[in-house]
């Protein structure tokens, strides 16, 4: 058989079939489950706040779907979100490849008796190699490390990472409160997030670290970069030095759910820094939403025959989702299999999760009638009709044999898709 043998009609109108140029259509799902393409089914699922009642009539491979779903026009929303993200990037001053950045070399750190002040002659400008962004709390107004505790920890780290480079604010920037030379400081400050995106992050933790706004956000951004391949780069590492608290685990969960910091509870020396910090936070979390979109698109594109009925595979409609709520639901599924939070951002992570869920008894506790999708994911008549067809096949087949492997995997994929809402 080929794609022309499969016909899906919606409200007596044939849906045009589509196949990307040069791709070979996989119709094995339809061939293997042909015996279930039979009968008439009436069922509904929610799309946003709308309950869509579907009447699906199947005769191999002629499928008719009838419903009264009215699609929404989300083009204006998508375009507005694109412009907003681009504007946020410009306002945040984010650079994909920051230049004119000074670093301490590991051997120089090992030779120091105290954390050094800024001095260009002791620094390496835009070096190649392994780099670390050091997030630490200043323990005194004029010097971050008067008792040299932080330096001792950095030395211990540098011994294990010879040939590496470290960005420490006190040493790599002339501090305005300590010098009249503010040009480099003013030029570099807007690049802090850009610098951190190009490095792994070291957190020198103490009991007051998490109370400071700059520390909290640097930690947040470090965890974010460690969980994603932001900008096409490999995931960066997180290195914790000093006394440990529950902060590491709690913050990782906050980042995983894109939960916004409680800005009014965090301490900052200069209140004028807050707008800049918020701009960087919002821009970066919006970029992470694109990463989650990639994971969702992989799951969506893994549905059988999607290339027939959906000419738009990249689901830009996720702009309207409530990410924190959706990610809480996804993380609950992850906990079933003991997965780490960072795994969510890895390639095909949701497809793999669906395969695990398909073999789990937990799937039996999620009835078809409880599928609730975001209206931004299924905004077209064609996608709703296609989804109705898949659910009809699952329901028909499971009347006879609940443990059919292919159909349980398909059902698990639909369940995970429904968690994004």
pLDDT tens-digit series, residues 236-245? 888 989 776 6
Q: What is the pLDDT of residues 230-269, one digit of tens each?
A: 665 666 888 989 776 666 677 777 777 778 888 888 888 8
- Whether residue 364 is contained in a domain is answered as yes
pLDDT tens across the length of the chain (421 residues) = 777 888 899 999 998 776 655 566 678 888 888 888 989 999 899 998 899 999 999 998 899 999 999 988 888 887 887 788 788 778 877 777 788 899 999 999 999 999 999 998 999 999 998 999 999 999 988 899 999 999 999 999 999 999 999 999 999 988 765 555 666 666 666 678 888 888 999 999 888 888 888 888 888 888 888 877 666 566 688 898 977 666 667 777 777 777 888 888 888 888 888 888 888 888 788 777 777 888 888 898 889 887 777 655 455 566 677 888 888 888 888 888 877 666 777 788 899 999 999 989 889 888 888 899 988 888 888 889 999 999 999 988 887 676 788 899 999 999 999 998 8
Do residues 280 and 314 share a domain? no
The CATH number for 218's domain is 3.40.50
Rounded distance between C-alpha atoms, residue 412 and residue 337, angstroms: 14
- Whether residue 150 is contained in a domain is answered as yes
- Which CB contacts under 8 angstroms, 24+ apart, belong to 228-237? 228/288, 228/291, 228/345, 229/291, 229/345, 230/197, 230/284, 230/287, 230/288, 230/291, 231/96, 231/197, 233/197, 233/198, 235/342, 235/345, 236/197, 236/199, 236/200, 236/201, 237/200, 237/201
- Domain boundary, last residue among 284, 313, 347: 284
Do residues 126 and 26 share a domain? no
Do residues 121 and 261 share a domain? yes
Do residues 330 and 385 share a domain? yes
Q: Note down the domain range covering 409.
A: 3-70+302-418
Do residues 391 and 250 share a domain? no
Question: Which residues fall within 8 angstroms of residue 366, CB to CB, at 6 or more apart?
Answer: 415
Q: What is the dihedral of CA 369, 371, 374, 379, to 10 degrees?
A: -70
Do residues 121 and 240 share a domain? yes
How many domains are there within the chain?
2
- Domain boundary, last residue among 256, 284, 312: 284
- Whether residue 124 is contained in a domain is answered as yes
Do residues 108 and 227 share a domain? yes
pTM for the full predicted model: 0.77
Do residues 215 and 279 share a domain? yes
Do residues 239 and 346 share a domain? no
- Whether residue 294 is contained in a domain is answered as no
Do residues 150 and 264 share a domain? yes
- Whether residue 86 is contained in a domain is answered as no
- Domain boundary, last residue among 284, 319, 344: 284
């Amino acid at each position: 058989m080929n794609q022309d043998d499969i016909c899906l009609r919606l409200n007596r109108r044939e849906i045009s079939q589509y196949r990307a140029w040069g791709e070979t259509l996989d119709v094995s799902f339809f061939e293997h489950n042909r015996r279930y393409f039979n009968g008439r089914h009436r069922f509904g699922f929610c799309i946003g706040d709308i309950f869509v009642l579907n009447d699906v009539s199947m005769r191999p491979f002629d499928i008719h779907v009838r419903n009264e779903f009215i699609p929404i026009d989300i083009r204006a929303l998508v375009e507005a979100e694109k412009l907003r993200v681009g504007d946020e990037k410009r306002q945040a001053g984010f650079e994909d490849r920051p230049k004119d950045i000074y670093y301490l070399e590991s051997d120089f750190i090992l030779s120091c008796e105290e954390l050094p002040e800024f001095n260009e002659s002791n620094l390496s400008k835009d070096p190649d190699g392994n780099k670390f962004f050091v997030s630490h709390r200043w323990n005194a107004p004029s010097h971050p490390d008067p008792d040299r505790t932080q330096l001792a920890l950095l030395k211990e780290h540098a011994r294990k990472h010879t040939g590496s480079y470290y960005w420490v604010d006190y040493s790599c920037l002339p501090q305005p409160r300590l010098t009249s030379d503010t040009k480099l400081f003013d030029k570099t400050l807007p690049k802090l997030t850009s610098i951190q995106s190009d490095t792994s992050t070291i957190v020198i933790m103490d009991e007051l670290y998490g109370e400071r706004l700059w520390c909290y956000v640097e930690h947040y951004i470090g965890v974010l970069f460690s969980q994603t391949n932001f900008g096409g780069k490999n995931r960066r590492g997180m290195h914790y030095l000093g006394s440990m608290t529950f902060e590491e685990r709690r913050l990782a969960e906050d980042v995983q759910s894109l939960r916004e910091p409680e800005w009014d509870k965090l301490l900052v020396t200069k209140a004028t820094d807050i707008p800049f910090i918020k701009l960087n936070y919002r821009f970066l979390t919006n970029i992470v939403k694109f990463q989650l979109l990639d994971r969702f698109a992989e799951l969506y594109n893994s549905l059988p025959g999607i290339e027939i009925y959906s000419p738009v595979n990249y689901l830009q409609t996720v702009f309207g989702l409530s990410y924190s709520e959706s990610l809480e639901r996804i993380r609950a599924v992850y906990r079933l299999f003991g997965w780490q939070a960072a795994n969510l951002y890895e390639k095909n992570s949701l497809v793999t999760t669906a395969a695990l869920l398909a073999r789990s008894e937990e799937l039996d506790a999620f009835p078809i009638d409880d599928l609730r999708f975001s209206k931004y994911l299924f905004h077209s008549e064609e996608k709703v009709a296609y989804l109705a067809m898949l659910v009809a096949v699952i329901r028909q087949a499971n009347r006879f044999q609940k443990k059919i492997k292919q159909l349980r995997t398909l059902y698990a994929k639909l369940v995970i898709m429904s968690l994004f809402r």
